[in-house]
Amino acid sequence: MKKLLFFIAILSVFGVSESFSQQLVYKATNPNFGGDTFNYQFLLSSAQAQNSFTQEENTDPRNEQSDIEAFTENLNNQLLNQISRSLFSQQFGTSGTLSPGTFSFGSLVVEIFESSEGLVIDILDTTNGDQTQVIIPGNQ
């Protein structure tokens, strides 16, 4: 009798109660991944509202120059290039040795000397004080 009551109780619990379920389906929101194309404007405006980056101003001086200023800068660069070529051809010559000395080209002062590190070339711009140093290692 106890077994029968237990069996009826089990049947009544599982038989009377209904179980509900549904199929789970994934649907993308982003139109790039197969979502609805009407979501594009919403997603774009949401991304732009969250964007904290700002576009930097163009600080390249070449883009702000007029044509005559660009031509003048180009001409100056070509002249300095020609002067430096002639300096090196005079210094190296046929013997291939670079002799120490100080040379002046407009506002540029070039000093060449030998040190324990090798051949040192100091270039100084007298208009604004900018300077650079080139060291050519020697044979040791």
Model-wide pTM > 0.85: no
Under-50 pLDDT residues of the chain: none
Give the Cβ contact number of residue 67 at 10 Å: 7
User: What type of residue sits at position 16?
Assistant: V
Tally of CA atoms within 13 A in the half-sphere of 77 that contains its CB: 6
Amino acid 43: pLDDT: 87
The secondary structure of residue 30, as a DSSP letter, is S
pLDDT at 67: 81
| Helix (H) or strand (E) segment spanning residue 46 | helix 40-50
Q: Tell me how far apart the alpha carbons of residues 116 and 128 are, in angstroms, rounded to a whole number.
A: 29
Cα 5 to Cα 8, 11, 12: the distances in Å are: 5, 10, 10
Please tell me the predicted confidence (pLDDT) of residue 92.
Answer: 60
